[in-house]
DNA sequence: AATAATAACGTTTTT
DNA sequence: CGTTATTATT
C-alpha cells in the first residue's frame, strides 16, 4: 500500500486528511494544490471513506481534468471510470445525456460553441428583421449568456428600459429556436443541468446520495451558476472540498465571482480553512516581490507565500526606448540564458495583450530561436473541421439549423443567398427547421435544396451500421469536402486536417472504451456495464423513480447513454483541441499572462509593464479593475522559478500609432531591494508623462541614449559580447557588415556573407545560406541580422 | 459567385 | 499597423 502521506508538509497533510465536512483550502501559487486535491481523493479511497462512484471532482479545463485523472491512476491502482472527474460543462453534458428526457432535450442534442451561438443569434435576428446596428448580435450574446449565468430565464429578467425589453424578447425567441433545433449553448448546459436537478427531487436525491465527496479545483473562478449547481449537488449532507486562491482570480470579466469563496465559507459554515503558504516553485526574491505586490489589494482572504529556497537572483528590470528595443533586449537575454544551458522550453515571455507578441516574434525569427505562441485557432475550430462536423451533426440531428446553414452551400452547389432566404421564410411560416422546410420551397431553388436533403439522407442511411471512424471518413468524402480541398490550391493542409479528424475519431473510440466496430449511432455498452443505463423519472408522479432498463447501480457505474457519434460531437464542442502551433519542439514560450496561469518556467519575462497596458487602461473603468490587474501581475510573477525579468518601453506602436507610456505603477509596489535595475531608474517626478504634449522627447531619444550608466549587455556574457543589446539600432547607423560574417535572414535562415557591394541605402550583400544556397540581397530590404 | 476594395476595430478566455 | 468583416465590382 503506497504511503500517500509521505513528504506532505503539515498543512497539506491536514488538508488531505480532513473529515468529510465542508472545507476551503486556500492554496497559494506553487503550493502543491493539485497534489493535495489528488492525494485527498486517493486517501479517501485507500481508507475506505469513499468508493470511486461517490467521488465527483470538477475543474475548469479539460487539461486540468486529464491531469487529475492521470496523476490519480498513477498514485493508486484504482478504477477511475466510476468517478466523475471533468469540467463543469463536461459533467453537465454527461448528466443531460443520461436524463435527456427529463431535461426536455432530444437524445441527439448538439452543443453550440461560442461561434455557433453567435451565428445562431445572427440568423435569428435576421429572420426577425432586427437592426444589427441598434441591437448588435454580439451584445445579445453577452446578454443571453450573462442572464443564464445568473440563472435567469427570459421571464426572470427585469427589463427596465425598452432596449433591455428587446433583448429579453430576443432571448426568449432564441430559446425557442434552440429548443426547436435541439441544440444547447455552453451556459445552457449548466443551467439545464441545474434546473434538471432543482425541479426533480427524486433525481436530485439520487445524485446527492451518490456524490458524497465533491471536490472543486480553482474555486475562485466559479460563477454564480456553477456555485448554485455545486450547492444543489451537495445538498444538506455532502461536503464540498474547495481548493482555490482568491489572489489568482483573474476571470471576473467572464463571470467568475471571487465572492463565492466568502459565500461558501458562510453558507456552508466552513470550519476547516487551511492555507497552503509553503511555496515549492520560486526563489525568495521572486516570492518577496509577489507577496508585497499583492499586499496592495484590499479585501483578501489573506495569505503570504514562503519558501525554503534561498533569495536567488534579484528581479531584473529593464527600461527600453521602444517596443522594438524591448524585444531586442529580451531576445538577447534569452540567448544568454540558452548559452548557460537552459532549455528554450524553460523560458517564457509573458504579455498582457496578444498584440504585443508581434514585436517579440519578429525579433525571435530574425535571430532564429524557435518559439511557440499560445492561443489562436484550435483543431476543432478550423473551418474545414467545422464543416465536416456540421455534416455529422446533420446526420444525427437534422433540425440543427446552425449546421445546416453552414454547409448547405459548401462545397458550392448553387444554393445562393436568396434560396436560403426563401427557405428561412418557409421555415418561419411553418415553425420548423430549415431541413424540414425544404418541401415547401418550389422551383429551381427547391430542387437544389432537395438534392442537398437527399445527400444528407443518403449519408445518414449509408453510415447506419458504420463505426465512428468509418462514418467520419465516409462523410468527409461523401459530402464533397475531400474533393473540394483536393482541388483547392491551398487545400492540402485542410485535407490533412480532415484526415486528422478521422484519426481523432479513432482515438476517441479507443479512449472511450467503445468497441472498434460499434456502430457510431448505437447506444453502446461500455465494458462492465450490464444494460443500457437510463434513469427516467415519471413526471406526473414525482415521488416515484422508474428505472428504464437499468438499475440505479448500473447508472452509478455507467451513466452514459451517448452514442459514439454524439460523444464525439460533444467532445469536439467541449474540447476544442490543442492550439499550439509547433508542438513537440523545444521552443521559447510566448503567451498572455492569463494563459500562463497554472504553468511554471525557470525564467520568465514580464513585458510591456506600462501604465495603460499593464495595468490595462480599460480596467480603470471597471469596479475592482485595478485589483484584478494586480492579481494578474501576481500570477505573472509567481510563474517564475529562478529568474524573473520585468521590462517596459517608453514608446510603443499600438493600433498604428506611437504611444508614449509611463512605467507601470506596479514597479512602485514591489520591494525595491529585490529589484536590480539594468537601466537607471528614473525618479517618478523626473519621468515624462504619457500626455501628447511630450511628443518632443521622442525625437531626442531616437538619437543615441547616453552611454553612461546604461545597461550595455547582459551581465553573464558581458565580456564576450560587446553590444548585443542595441544591435538593431547600431546597425542602422553604420550599415556595417563584413565578408565572412554570420547573419540570419527571416526566410532563409542562417548564412555567411560572401560578398558586399555598394554602401549606404543601396548596399547589397551576397550570402551563402545553409539551406537555400547563395543569394544577393538588398540590405535595405532584407532584414539581415548579425550573429555573434 | 469569386475577387477586389473598403471599412471597422483593436484586453484578457474556457467551455 | 494588421486583421477581419462587409460591401462593391466584374
**A654 CA → B8 C1’, Å:** 16
Q: What is the pLDDT of residue A578?
A: 76
Q: Which residue has the cell 502521506?
A: A5
pLDDT value for A517: 83
Q: Where are the alpha helices (DSSP H) in A541-655?
A: 552-557, 564-574, 593-596, 625-637
C-alpha cell at position A233: 449537488
Could you give the residue numbers annotated as active site of A?
A: 33-34, 217-218, 248, 639
Backbone angles phi, psi at A293, to 5 degrees: -60, -50
CA A641/CA A279 separation, integer angstroms: 10
pLDDT value of position A727: 30
Nearest to A275 by CA among A261, A286, A293, A285: A261
Cα A481 from chain centroid (whole Å)? 29
Strands A640-654 and A657-660: antiparallel
Nucleotide closest in space to A614 (CA vs C1'): B11
Per-residue pLDDT, A237: 87
Q: Cell triple for residue A473?
A: 471518413
Pick the CATH number of A10-101+190-276 from 3.40.50.300, 3.40.50.970, 3.40.640.10, 3.10.50.40: 3.40.50.300
Q: Which nucleotide is nearest to A377 (CA to C1')?
A: B13
Q: Right CATH number for A315-378+580-677 from 3.30.365.10, 3.40.50.300, 3.90.1720.10, 3.90.1420.10?
A: 3.40.50.300
Question: Helix or strand or coil: residue A612?
Answer: strand
Q: Residues of chain A whose pLDDT is less than 70? A: 1, 524-561, 579-584, 684-736, 738, 745-749, 754-764, 769-785, 787-788
Nucleotides of B under 7 A from a protein CB: 1-2, 10-15
Alpha-carbon distance of A374 to A477, in angstroms, equals 32
Pick the CATH number of A726-786 from 3.40.50.1370, 2.115.10.20, 3.40.50.620, 2.30.30.390: 2.30.30.390
For residue A292, with 0-12 CB atoms within 10 Å meaning exposed, 13-18 middle and 19 or more buried, which class applies?
middle
State the Cα–Cα distance between residues A756 and A738, nearest whole angstrom: 7
Residue A782 has what pLDDT?
65
CA of A399 to C1' of B3 (A): 34
User: Scanning the structure block, which residue is given the C-alpha cell 454524439?
Assistant: A566
Question: HSE (CB half, 13 Å, CA atoms) of A51?
Answer: 6
Which bases of chain C come closer than 7 Å to a protein CB? 1-2
> A92: which nucleotide lies closest, measuring CA to C1'?
B15
The position carrying cell 436525491 is A205
In chain A, how many H helices and how many E strands?
28, 23
Burial A169-206 (b: 16+ CB within 10 A, else e): ebbebbeebbeebbbbbbbbbbbbbbbbbeebebbbeb
In terms of Cα–Cα distance, which of A101, A182, A104 is closest to A394?
A182
CATH class (in words) of the domain with range A111-181: mainly alpha
Q: How many CB atoms lie within 10 A of CB A554?
A: 20
Among residues A110, A783, A10, the alpha carbon closest in space to that of A397 is found at A110
Going by their DSSP bridges, the two strands A545-548 and A534-537 should be labelled as: antiparallel
DSSP A519: B
Residue A488 has a pLDDT of 84
Determine the protein residue whose CA lies at the shortest distance from the C1' of B12: A594
**pLDDT score, position A511:** 87
**DSSP 3-state assignment of A148?**
helix
pLDDT of residue A512: 83
* H runs (alpha helix) in A128-238: 137-149, 162-181, 186-198, 201-210, 224-234
CATH of domain A380-507: 1.10.486.10
Annotated binding residues of A for ATP, written as ranges, equal 27-34
| Residue A751 backbone phi and psi in degrees, to 5 | -160, 175
- Packing angle of the helix pair A284-294, A625-637 (nearest 10 deg): 170
Nucleotide nearest to A355 (CA to C1'): B10
CA angle A178, A385, A354 (to 5 degrees): 90
Write down the pLDDT at residue A515: 78
**Rounded CA separation A665/A611 (Å):** 7
A617, HSE (Cβ side, Cα atoms, 13 Å): 7
Q: Which residues pair with A74 in a beta bridge?
A: none
A565 CA, B3 C1': Å apart: 38
A380-507 has the same fold as A111-181:
no
Residue carrying the nine cell digits 483547392: A488
The residue with cell 486536417 is A497
Q: How far in angstroms lies nucleotide B15's C1' from the CA of residue A740?
A: 55
- 10 Å Cβ neighbour count for A119? 15
- CA A665 from centroid of its chain's CA atoms: 28
Q: How far does the CA of A153 sit from the C1' of C8, in Å?
A: 42
Binding residues of A: 27-34
Q: What angle do CA A117, A119, A453 make, to 5 degrees?
A: 105
CA A400 to chain centre: 26
Q: Which residues of A125-158 are buried (b: 16+ CB within 10 A; e: fewer)?
A: beeeebeeeebebeebbebbbebbbbbbebeebe
Give residue limits of the domains in chain A: 10-101+190-276, 111-181, 315-378+580-677, 380-507, 726-786
Residue A414 CB-half CA count within 13 A: 8
Question: Strand B: which residues have Cβ below 7 Å from it?
Answer: A 60-63, 87-90, 113-114, 186-187, 251, 253-254, 352-355, 374-375, 409, 412, 414-416, 574-576, 579, 591-592, 594-595, 616, 618-619, 622, 655-656
Q: Which residues pair with A677 in a beta bridge?
A: A317
Compute chain A's Rg from CA coordinates: 29
Amino acid at each position: 500500500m503506497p504511503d500517500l502521506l509521505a513528504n506532505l508538509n503539515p498543512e497539506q497533510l491536514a488538508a488531505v486528511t480532513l473529515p468529510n465536512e465542508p472545507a476551503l483550502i486556500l492554496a497559494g501559487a506553487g503550493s502543491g494544490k493539485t497534489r493535495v486535491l489528488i492525494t485527498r481523493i486517493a486517501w479517501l479511497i485507500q481508507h475506505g471513506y469513499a468508493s470511486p462512484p461517490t467521488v465527483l471532482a470538477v475543474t475548469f479545463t479539460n487539461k486540468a481534468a486529464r491531469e487529475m485523472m492521470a496523476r490519480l491512476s498513477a498514485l493508486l491502482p484504482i478504477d477511475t471510470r466510476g468517478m466523475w472527474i471533468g469540467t463543469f460543462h463536461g459533467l453537465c453534458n454527461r448528466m443531460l445525456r443520461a436524463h435527456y428526457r427529463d431535461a426536455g432535450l432530444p437524445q441527439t442534442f448538439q452543443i453550440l460553441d461560442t461561434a455557433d451561438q453567435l451565428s445562431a443569434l445572427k440568423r435569428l435576428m435576421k429572420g426577425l428583421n432586427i437592426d444589427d446596428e441598434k441591437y448588435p448580435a454580439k451584445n445579445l450574446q453577452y446578454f443571453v449568456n450573462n442572464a443564464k449565468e445568473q440563472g435567469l430565464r427570459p421571464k426572470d429578467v427585469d427589463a427596465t428600459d425598452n432596449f433591455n425589453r428587446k433583448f429579453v424578447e430576443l432571448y426568449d425567441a432564441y430559446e425557442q429556436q434552440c429548443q426547436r433545433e435541439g441544440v444547447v449553448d455552453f451556459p445552457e448546459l449548466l443551467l439545464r443541468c441545474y434546473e434538471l436537478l432543482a425541479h426533480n427531487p427524486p433525481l436530485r436525491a439520487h445524485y446527492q446520495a451518490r456524490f458524497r465527496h465533491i471536490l472543486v479545483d480553482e474555486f475562485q473562478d466559479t460563477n454564480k451558476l456553477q456555485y448554485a449547481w455545486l450547492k444543489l449537488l451537495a445538498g444538506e449532507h455532502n461536503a464540498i472540498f474547495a481548493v482555490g486562491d482568491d489572489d489568482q482570480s483573474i476571470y471576473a470579466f467572464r463571470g467568475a465571482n471571487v465572492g463565492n469563496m466568502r459565500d461558501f465559507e458562510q453558507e456552508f459554515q466552513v470550519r476547516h480553512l487551511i492555507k497552503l503558504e509553503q511555496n515549492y516553485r520560486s526563489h525568495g526574491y521572486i516570492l518577496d516581490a509577489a507577496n508585497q505586490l499583492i499586499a496592495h489589494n484590499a479585501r483578501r482572504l489573506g495569505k503570504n507565500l514562503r519558501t525554503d529556497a534561498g533569495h536567488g537572483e534579484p528581479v531584473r528590470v529593464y527600461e527600453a526606448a521602444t517596443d522594438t528595443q524591448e524585444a531586442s533586449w529580451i531576445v538577447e537575454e534569452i540567448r544568454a540564458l540558452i548559452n548557460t544551458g537552459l532549455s528554450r522550453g524553460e523560458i517564457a515571455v509573458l504579455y498582457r495583450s496578444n498584440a504585443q507578441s508581434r514585436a517579440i516574434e519578429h525579433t525571435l525569427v530574425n535571430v532564429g530561436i524557435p518559439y511557440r505562441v499560445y492561443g489562436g485557432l484550435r483543431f476543432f475550430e478550423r473551418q474545414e473541421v467545422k464543416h465536416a462536423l456540421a455534416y455529422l451533426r446533420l446526420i444525427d440531428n437534422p433540425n440543427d439549423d446552425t449546421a445546416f446553414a453552414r454547409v448547405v452551400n459548401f462545397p458550392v452547389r448553387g444554393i445562393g443567398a436568396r434560396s436560403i432566404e426563401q427557405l428561412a421564410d418557409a421555415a418561419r411560416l411553418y415553425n420548423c427547421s430549415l431541413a424540414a422546410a425544404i418541401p415547401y420551397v418550389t422551383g429551381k431553388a427547391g430542387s437544389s435544396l432537395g438534392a442537398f436533403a437527399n445527400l444528407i439522407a443518403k449519408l445518414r442511411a449509408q453510415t447506419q451500421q458504420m463505426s465512428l471512424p468509418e462514418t467520419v471518413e465516409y462523410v468527409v468524402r461523401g459530402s464533397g469536402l475531400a474533393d473540394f480541398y483536393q482541388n483547392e490550391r491551398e487545400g492540402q493542409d485542410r485535407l490533412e486536417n480532415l484526415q486528422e479528424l478521422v484519426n481523432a475519431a479513432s482515438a476517441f473510440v479507443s479512449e472511450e472504451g467503445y468497441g472498434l466496430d460499434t456502430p457510431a449511432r448505437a447506444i453502446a455498452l461500455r465494458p462492465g456495464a450490464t444494460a443500457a443505463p437510463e434513469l427516467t423519472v415519471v413526471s406526473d408522479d414525482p415521488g416515484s423513480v422508474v428505472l428504464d432498463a437499468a438499475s440505479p447501480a448500473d447508472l452509478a457505474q455507467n451513466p452514459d447513454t451517448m452514442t459514439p457519434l454524439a460523444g464525439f460531437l460533444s467532445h469536439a464542442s467541449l474540447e476544442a483541441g490543442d492550439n499550439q502551433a509547433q508542438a513537440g519542439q523545444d521552443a521559447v514560450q510566448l503567451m498572455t499572462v492569463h494563459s500562463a496561469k497554472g504553468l511554471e518556467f525557470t525564467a520568465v519575462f514580464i513585458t510591456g509593464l506600462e501604465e495603460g497596458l499593464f495595468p490595462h487602461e480599460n480596467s480603470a473603468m471597471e469596479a475592482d479593475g485595478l485589483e484584478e490587474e494586480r492579481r494578474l501581475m501576481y500570477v505573472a510573477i509567481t510563474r517564475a522559478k529562478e529568474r524573473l525579468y520585468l521590462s517596459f518601453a517608453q514608446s510603443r506602436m499600438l493600433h498604428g500609432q506611437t504611444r508614449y507610456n509611463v512605467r507601470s505603477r506596479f514597479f512602485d509596489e514591489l520591494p525595491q531591494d529585490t529589484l536590480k535595475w539594468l537601466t537607471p531608474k528614473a525618479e517618478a517626478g523626473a519621468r515624462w508623462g504619457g500626455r501628447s504634449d511630450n511628443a518632443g522627447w521622442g525625437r531626442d531619444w531616437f538619437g543615441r541614449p547616453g552611454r553612461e550608466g546604461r545597461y550595455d549587455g547582459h551581465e553573464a556574457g558581458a565580456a564576450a559580447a560587446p553590444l548585443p543589446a542595441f544591435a538593431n539600432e547600431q546597425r542602422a547607423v553604420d550599415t556595417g557588415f563584413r565578408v565572412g560574417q554570420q547573419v540570419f535572414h527571416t526566410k532563409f535562415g542562417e548564412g555567411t556573407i560572401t560578398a558586399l557591394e555598394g554602401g549606404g541605402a543601396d548596399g547589397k550583400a551576397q550570402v551563402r545560406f545553409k539551406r537555400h544556397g547563395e543569394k544577393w540581397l538588398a540590405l535595405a530590404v532584407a532584414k539581415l541580422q548579425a550573429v555573434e
